[in-house]
Structure 1
Amino acid sequence: MTDACNLPGLSVPRSRFPDPAEDLAEAGAQSRLVLAGGCFWCVEAVFLAVDGVEAVAPGYAGGEARTANYEAVCSGTTGHAEVIDITYSPAKVSFGQLLKLFFSVAHDPTQLNRQGNDIGTQYRSAVFYETPEQRQVAEAYISQLDEAGVYPDPIVTTLEPLEAFYPAETYHQNFAARNPRQPYIMAVAAPKVEKLTRAWPDQLKPEYRDDDPDQA
């Protein structure tokens, strides 16, 4: 199986991605991060495999409550993006480490208002921040990646305040795990999870680990 939709981000080797120079100093049992990186089925599948991630919920952010439904969002006219709401343990994984996986595996951040064949503002790359500190760390990491020339094109990820998160319909929840043989999942989501398991085995939950991973 080839990389999803030939997304260039999936072929950039691990060694090209630096750790974030800035990160959050977090305390407490749980923290939250809301990300948009194309189809939420695929991004959800990646982050469900990450050690320290306790829950992932697909949904919508960026628009109004009345249009926070799949049919409306697919029109590309609502302002919403397909997002995932990540609940994680800062004791196991940091905000910056999650951003690193977002930019290196979960999607191609240089594609404007699309991911592969999924086209529209609902598929935009975005970090929906809740605090100024989250925005600062995300902005700094984008600049760090651009300055390092990790991608041949500039990163177009937007930084947007999280006004509200609207959970997606029930049938979208944990879609990839429940439908592993669905063609879109096999062609787009599975290669991203495979890339994660090859490139970042140290970031995986035990059930996703391979005793002899093929390092990317």
Structure 2
Amino acid sequence: MARPMGSVRLKKANPITLLLGAILSIFVIGFLVLPIGSSSSDSVSKKPASPAVHHLSPPTAPYRKVAEADRKPPPVVRYDLNNVTITSDPIGNRESILILTPMVRFYQEYWNNLLRLDYPHDLITLGFILPKTKEGNAATTALQEQITRTQKRGPEKDRFKSIVILRQDFEPAITSQDESERHKMQNQKGRRAHRQC
């Protein structure tokens, strides 16, 4: 049989505990409500001190793998590009863009067109995906020469926010990147299988 419930006597709280709880509550509410740092109007008018400083996108040097064996790979970030919005004044709002280019051969005309873009170069990140083939190696060498010329020796207005060169880490389905060879029917299954990875 259960014991009948009588009057329950509450233990008197320690005043120090109540004081610490009140101070902690005020701190948390203040942290969540009050803005920290400068206002957004200040950040729009300021020019960034330097290009991107993220370890995966060095502005002037090619990406070099760190020698540490226990280093974790960077996280995979997925973006739903169907919901991307822009404002009516992207330059005034300092909106960054990414131009991602898969390439097998380096074309100087393409690089010249990138340099002629009207959008401020300090808001543009360039990304290049190159295969690990003989043609890809030649394209990487030529691309790195142009990057060095632009990012280190060129005028500051021509320098991009950052430039990333990514090399494919899998063998291509076909060794030749010749257009007629790529579009042969017997090569389509292997090419499409690699795209799904």
- Structure showing greater relative contact order (alpha-carbon pairs closer than 8 Å, 6 or more residues apart): 1
TM-score by length of 1: 0.26
TM-score by length of 2: 0.28
Greater Cα radius of gyration, structure 1 or 2 = 2
